[in-house]
Amino acid sequence: MTEGKYQIRVKGHLDSNWADRFDGWKMRLEKDGSTLLTKEVADQAALHGVLVKIRNLNLPLISVRYTDPEHEEDSRDSANKTK
């Protein structure tokens, strides 16, 4: 996998002060108490960079999800059909 949108979920709600540490990553607070970070990254090196940052900040990592931008609508549609 190279270019694509990634969603990284960490435990806990991160306030707006964390935005500088995750430059360019969209932060969304989830109802389950986690924070979802979303961004389109150019390559695996960029993804690994943010994962190292999460580790260094001692943030509990819950999940990492790749979304192919060309098939993003298809994946949403299939997810809605399974509910």
Q: Which pTM value belongs to this model?
A: 0.78
pLDDT band at 23 (very low <50, low <70, confident <90, very high): confident
* Interatomic CA distance for residues 46 and 48, integer angstroms: 6
Instruction: Provide the domain count of the chain.
Output: 1
Give the range of the structural domain holding residue 71, as residue numbers without chain letter. Answer: 4-81
CATH code of the domain in which 30 resides: 3.30.70
pLDDT tens string 30-71: 999 999 999 999 888 989 999 999 999 999 999 999 987 665
